[in-house]
Amino acid sequence: MSDGKLFTKSKSVELKAELDQAFKKLKSQNRIKIILKKVIANIVLHNNELVNLMPDIISLMKIDDLAIRKMCFQYLIAYCPLAPKLALDAIPFLNRFKDDISPIMRSLALKTMTSIPIKEFMELSFSTVKFKLEDADPYVRKIAAFSVSKLYQYDAERTEKEGFIDSLNELLYDKNQIVVSNALAALSYITEQSKTLSLTIDKAHSLTLISYLSNTNEWCQVYLLNSLMSYVPSTTNEALDLIEATIPSLQHENSSVVLNAIKVIIYYSNYVKNPELILPSLPKRLGASLVSLLSKPAEIQFLVLRNVILLLLGRKELLNVDVEMFFCRYDDPIYVKDTKLEIIYLLANESNSHIVLRELEEYAIEIDVSMSRKAIRAFGNLAVKLPKSSNECVDCICDLISNGIPYIIQESVIVIKNILRRYPRKFNFAIDVLVKHYKYIDEPDSKTAMIWILGQYCEGIPDVYSIFEEFISTFKEDPIEVQSATLTAVTKYYLKMPQQGEALVLKVLKWATEEIDNPDIRDRGFFYWRLLSSEEANGQNGEFQENTKRIILSNNPSISSENDNIDPNILEELELNIGTLASIYLKPVQHVFRLANRKFLPQSPALQPRPKQSPISSESSPAPDEEDDPAPPPLRPYLNGNQSDNFLHVRRNNSQRSSKLSLPRQASFDSGFSNEEFPAKKGSFAQRLSRKASMITSRKNSTKY
């Protein structure tokens, strides 16, 4: 029978009948093995109904066959906790097998009894482990070492009282390397669970452990490498010796061994000043070992790539890799492609930006929409990160927009918004490209970004009124973030272009305050309403909405790539957990493993202060000049009802206005606009606001705000 046919849920009655039939046949052991394989398959399938077979399975241990007994032991480990009273019948068998002539049988019996969390089995385990730690066979001693960690999990106080911890310490000097490595693994587990115990080793012992690496298997090498982090070097030379001794493990084929070797090297690098200068080949060897793991299955690649990100964020000087090694392949899973994009962003600098942008351009025109969007997002991030390459990034984005593909346009709007915030007035030509394709914009995030652009740069956008009208036509059905952006944008439009924007702002404020149920939008609408119609809205000399402009048209927060860095304390902790789930999530260990103890670098005279974390950008951003100054876009004043051909640059930190141009004088909103300034208007704007608010405020039209 093939193994695939075994994995079907069976009933205990059916299997019991098959066992009875098997005993009536010749060569019953072969039939019993097949039935037990079905039982093991049902354990995998979580079929708890088979607990009823407990007496029949226990009786099978009478058969002198190692394979049958091994499967019976697996059954006991799985189902004994579900039927404690029935499981007690297995104790006589385990008591007999623990003193068997065969070391394998002794080990199986010990492993089974220590894996069943029932009082009677634990009592038998405590009395057995004491002797098996000194067994003549190294395999039994290895299993006994692991059994101590299981007993510690069940009863920590008794395990210490019985002296099992001291026995594990003695096993560290065993002649067999496998026994030593497993004793270290058990001690490491115990010290991680305990709040009072800690594992410490000296330099001589650490060098001895390193010498064992070449004579043990992969699992044992992982245990040995992890235990090396229990040694705290007192001098830089000691740390360098251990780094050099660990470097050969970087060439191992097993990914776990390589990642743990990297973890040990990074750990000891904290006790060396500028290790990359003392050992010039170290960054290349670390990089080469990580790149070699990218030929492994996708799951291993993902783990490796996440750890590459961790090292680039915290220890970039110790990692020398070529960005081209992380370019995406056509058959990479999406989660691997996403992680590679993050690494490409972190490795990008002014020298390799051209290669990176060409590669990202290929991703942006892929059939995979998700990948295309992420590539466009990377263009925007690189434009913010690399000022000297920002022109090339924006040119690439504009070329992509010109293709007229809807999802590319949607993502590009969000990206260009961030670029405009980073470099005000530098890339206004990109707005013209966007405006040509604004009808493709219908997603909430992209609509929010486009509406922000319209409000911020309305003076330079032709036919902005009709574009605004089209966007606000769905105001009542839009999501909250779009409604909020629309409120702010139309208010800015009115402040910058009062004659054209008045009708729009009246319409939107009416909807926000009378027809929208969301309290945040309604409150924002009232806020703008009161602000625009306040008697103090104008300047001291009657300048149009001068005080309101200072509030609404204030500078946006600066955007920079420095915000992408992680807290150095978290990075330090994550570097001590390279290769674990915490390194994948890039979060503190206790956020991933709630009961885990926090790891930190032990103090030592050789411990070096952590280098200051430099911004992700390869070069510092240029000092703000007139081109990069994050001031709001220029305001276009109105003189005698006509648009002036000149611009008045208003800076937040400069209260002096130009002596050549002056804004139109206006007393208060309630007095209405003068006929000289706006001859076509009937009634004041404040009166219109008051009329619209009458149903809410229950005041007369003449009420002043």
Which residues, 6 or more positions from 358, have their beta carbon under 8 angstroms from its beta carbon? none
Is the pLDDT at 641 greater than 60? The verdict is no
Is the pLDDT at 691 greater than 50? The verdict is no
Kind plus residue range of the DSSP H or E element containing 639: strand 638-639
82 domain residue, yes or no: yes
Task: List pLDDT tens digits, range 573-588.
Answer: 999 999 888 889 888 8
92 domain residue, yes or no: yes
* Ranges 200-204, 312-316, 396-400: which has the least confidence: 200-204
Task: List pLDDT tens digits, range 113-158.
Answer: 999 999 999 999 999 998 999 999 999 999 999 999 999 999 999 9
* Ranges 233-237, 339-343, 649-653: which has the least confidence: 649-653
- Arithmetic mean of pLDDT over the chain: 83
More confident: 140 or 649 = 140
What pLDDT score was predicted for residue 262? 96
Side chain identity, residue 111: K
pTM: 0.77
What pLDDT score was predicted for residue 634? 35
What pLDDT score was predicted for residue 696? 35
More confident: 696 or 557 = 557
- Structure tokens given for 136: 């003549």
Is the pLDDT at 697 greater than 60? The verdict is no
Q: CA-to-CA distance for 21 and 34, rounded, in angstroms?
A: 13
- Structure tokens given for 38: 């079905």
50 domain residue, yes or no: yes
What pLDDT score was predicted for residue 562? 62
* Ranges 559-573, 648-662, 685-699: which has the least confidence: 648-662
C-alpha dihedral (114, 116, 120, 124), degrees to nearest 10: -20
What pLDDT score was predicted for residue 636? 32
23 domain residue, yes or no: yes
426 domain residue, yes or no: no
- Structure tokens given for 700: 């007369």
Task: List pLDDT tens digits, range 656-666.
Answer: 333 222 223 33
Q: CA-to-CA distance for 398 and 393, rounded, in angstroms?
A: 9
More confident: 275 or 626 = 275
40 domain residue, yes or no: yes
276 domain residue, yes or no: no
Which residues, 6 or more positions from 27, have their beta carbon under 8 angstroms from its beta carbon? none
Instruction: Over range 298-327, report the average pLDDT.
Output: 93
DSSP string, 290-303: HHHGGGS-HHHHHH
Containing structural domain, residue 7: 1-97
Instruction: Over range 304-313, report the average pLDDT.
Output: 94
- Structure tokens given for 363: 């991703």
Is the pLDDT at 252 greater than 90? The verdict is yes
Is the pLDDT at 608 greater than 70? The verdict is yes
Task: List pLDDT tens digits, range 501-532.
Answer: 888 999 999 999 999 989 999 999 999 888 88
Q: What share of the chain is helix, strand, coil (3-state, %, to 5)?
A: 65, 0, 35
Distances (CA, A) of 485 to 271, 331, 544, 647: 52, 40, 23, 26
Which residues, 6 or more positions from 640, have their beta carbon under 8 angstroms from its beta carbon? 676, 677
Q: Is residue 528 within 8 Å of 537, Cβ to Cβ?
A: no
Domain count, the chain: 1
Q: Is residue 211 within 8 Å of 174, Cβ to Cβ?
A: no
Which residues, 6 or more positions from 645, have their beta carbon under 8 angstroms from its beta carbon? none
Q: Is residue 6 within 8 Å of 38, Cβ to Cβ?
A: yes
Nearest by Cα to 356 from 306, 320, 393: 393
CA angle 226, 231, 235 (to 5 degrees): 135
62 domain residue, yes or no: yes
Provide φ and ψ at 560, rounded to 5°: -150, 160
Kind plus residue range of the DSSP H or E element containing 643: strand 642-643
Residue 213, judged by CB atoms within 10 A of its CB (0-12, 13-18, 19+), counts as: buried
